[in-house]
Structure 1
């Protein structure tokens, strides 16, 4: 909701006595003097205020103070609030949030202004006006609470908006770095990354059941981001979603290949997401190498999962042959088509994948799939019958493995 549309705080202001109104009226001629005193003398004592540009102090801050003084004096005469009474306070609060002034400094400036006004009222009051002075102080403190509420509300809202914009800009930079649409050097400078760096691809297990809500998805991503922030103790950036994502972190001198870093990260992620976490890490010597490293890391995880390898940290050496066999060339489509006869038989596909992963151990395959070994034998025979692949032969084994890796659903 825009600042000028935010509802104004509602405060019950009692009618003031003629004596109190008369006391306040004597301060009207001092508005400009008091505004200058607050903007220059009193506020200079606040942390960070002296760093503001002179034009901000002399124009914006002074104008806001004058507005506050005149609002107080007007309400002394007419306690009823009007729409827009706090609009300038809200506008200035949004500006100070955008400029990075701490909220405590902003609120202290309003409290300091109240104190200066109290001093002015006290200086004008005679002994006979003690009761009128008490009325005005009560009135002043009531109004101060409403102003502080309006200022804080606007400041926090503006900070949230700015934070969301920064996060989205950050995500756009990471996305552009990974897909090559943003110049790598520029992305590295804005993201605070240094070469060489580690590129990590993360795959998270999907929770079975009904589709989760957007709120639940955001909560899941926040939890993942928190784990990443805590585990990667060097400068790191991430582009995460409910299924995982990519991370880029500077190389640590004591862990150049990133193994210890990723093992720590994997262990921490398992505490949140369970044992189905898979990730791979690839070294990018320079910023220009990041997009290629990201694709390689994603392929390593994809291939490891397609081959039925258990979740965890995967390296290129773990899937070296499988990675080579999965690369597309002129023969890829024909090799992938070797499994077309069993495309609609997921039971046979799963049996083949598990059997190859367990190095043709029929009992281990049966145990993994919860089948009798004879059932495994029957399924393997049916695969050979339908595809013509002799799985037990070296050539048939290599062709079956390559076909599995090149199938369209291997990318899932």
Structure 2
């Protein structure tokens, strides 16, 4: 590669202050014309794609094209592998690079003075050569990642590569109570974890790319946290993971999960003694999370001991329907239900309830008075308080809470 002239280097340096502005415009406006770009999660567009654009432009404008570093393409290749795993179409990915190259050249042309025509021509030739190398490396890395995910081989090799469908198949088998005799997932006892994601965790709603991105990042946290490839069956709402050979949940797992899954992530874990015990442990972990949410507990790690009374009260019995019906008068009043749930979780402390709900304490009093008026249940009576708690729990189902 020939050396750039001092004039070309000087022109590139004058364009560098525009990098942040250009990256924002690319991520928010220029790339919007690409089919499928609008469906990408907001953080992918505004952070990761914009960050890659900034990195690429600075690498070029600061003279990286003059003396390319040996690792100059590593960043682009890592991002390409990540996008492949998230299911971003290859044509969409490559077009962000070609359009980005076009926008950078336009900025250079706008920056150049009339007497810098030769310098601009030099930079154009260097830029298009650099773009050719980057696009080639991106395509190669993307296709390599796809090939690795689809590779066939021994169970041990598939386990090592973390092939997603194989991993999900293992999880399905274990959650059905059947052993997986492969020398990897046959160790007992085992830990079963249930995860429930915050509705906003996947970014742009139920976009397939957003969901795959969420699942991939959560899976990476589980693998790293447990030090093995964890069989898991995850989707946009959450799911189960089974970790053979342990009954301990590493204390750092809940905090690590907050980054990919958001501050609203909930989880619980239960131990299983053998393959046939996994379905019971899976139901228990899921039930603990459901009950904790129904009680208004803060998101995070939930343990059975934390909701022991509530778990008992929520068990169906001959009188369950009649207890649940006590709150029928609150149907269509979600603000009253939420206030009641929060008030019980805050040990009937009106000021604490008001802080949690961002209300004035008098507003809490008015809502609770309305609850008593509609239901006839006085929360000052311990028996009525227990009935209200049981009714809230019994009305909570996997389909959602009462509104």
Alignment of 1:164-203 (within 5 A): 167-180=164-177, 184-185=178-179, 187=180, 189=182, 192-203=185-196
In structure 1, what is the equivalent of residue 96 of structure 2? none
The alignment partner of 1:239 has SS state of strand
In structure 2, what is the equivalent of residue 49 of structure 1? none
8 Å contact from structure 2 (residues 174, 242) kept in 1: no
The alignment partner of 1:276 has SS state of coil
1:189–1:291 distance in 2 versus 1, CA, 3 Å: farther
Q: Distance in 1 between matches of 2:149 and 2:307?
A: 44
In structure 2, what is the equivalent of residue 229 of structure 1? 223
Q: CA deviation at 1:234?
A: 4.5
8 Å contact from structure 1 (residues 279, 312) kept in 2: yes
Structure 1 residue corresponding to 2:205, chosen from 195, 208, 211: 211
Q: Which runs of 4+ in 1 moved over 6 A?
A: 153-158
The alignment partner of 1:192 has SS state of coil
> Mean alpha-carbon deviation: is it higher for 236-245 or for 355-364?
236-245
Q: Distance in 1 between matches of 2:345 and 2:321?
A: 23
In structure 1, what is the equivalent of residue 67 of structure 2? none
Q: Distance in 1 between matches of 2:144 and 2:373?
A: 72
8 Å contact from structure 2 (residues 221, 253) kept in 1: yes
Q: CA deviation at 1:250?
A: 2.8
> Mean alpha-carbon deviation: is it higher for 205-214 or for 226-235?
205-214
Q: Distance in 2 between matches of 1:409 and 1:379?
A: 24
The alignment partner of 2:264 has SS state of coil
Unaligned runs of 5+ residues in structure 2 are 1-141, 153-157
Q: Distance in 2 between matches of 1:245 and 1:277?
A: 11
In structure 2, what is the equivalent of residue 238 of structure 1? 232
8 Å contact from structure 2 (residues 149, 164) kept in 1: no
In structure 2, what is the equivalent of residue 247 of structure 1? 241
- After superposition, the C-alpha distances for 1:126-147 in whole angstroms (9 at most, x for unaligned) are xxxxxxxxxxxxxxxxxxxxxx
8 Å contact from structure 1 (residues 196, 250) kept in 2: yes
Q: Distance in 2 between matches of 1:175 and 1:386?
A: 46
8 Å contact from structure 1 (residues 203, 277) kept in 2: yes
Q: What TM-score does the superposition give when structure 2 sets the normalisation length?
A: 0.57
Q: Distance in 2 between matches of 1:333 and 1:244?
A: 29
RMSD: 2.8
- After superposition, the C-alpha distances for 1:73-130 in whole angstroms (9 at most, x for unaligned) are xxxxxxxxxxxxxxxxxxxxxxxxxxxxxxxxxxxxxxxxxxxxxxxxxxxxxxxxxx
Q: Distance in 2 between matches of 1:157 and 1:274?
A: 28
Is 2:342 the partner of 1:349? no
Q: Distance in 1 between matches of 2:343 and 2:209?
A: 41
Q: CA deviation at 1:361?
A: 0.3
Structure 1 residue corresponding to 2:377, chosen from 389, 394, 397: 389
Q: What TM-score does the superposition give when structure 1 sets the normalisation length?
A: 0.56
Q: CA deviation at 1:157?
A: 7.2
Is 2:349 the partner of 1:361? yes
Q: Distance in 2 between matches of 1:154 and 1:409?
A: 43
- After superposition, the C-alpha distances for 1:35-91 in whole angstroms (9 at most, x for unaligned) are xxxxxxxxxxxxxxxxxxxxxxxxxxxxxxxxxxxxxxxxxxxxxxxxxxxxxxxxx
8 Å contact from structure 2 (residues 326, 375) kept in 1: yes
Q: Distance in 1 between matches of 2:333 and 2:398?
A: 15
Q: Distance in 1 between matches of 2:164 and 2:211?
A: 17
Q: Distance in 2 between matches of 1:205 and 1:295?
A: 20
Q: Distance in 2 between matches of 1:157 and 1:347?
A: 48
Q: How many residues align?
A: 251
- After superposition, the C-alpha distances for 1:311-364 in whole angstroms (9 at most, x for unaligned) are 111111000001111111221111111111101100110010000000110111
8 Å contact from structure 1 (residues 351, 379) kept in 2: yes
Q: CA deviation at 1:214?
A: 1.0
1:382–1:194 distance in 2 versus 1, CA, 3 Å: same
1:211–1:167 distance in 2 versus 1, CA, 3 Å: closer
1:188–1:348 distance in 2 versus 1, CA, 3 Å: farther
8 Å contact from structure 1 (residues 335, 399) kept in 2: yes
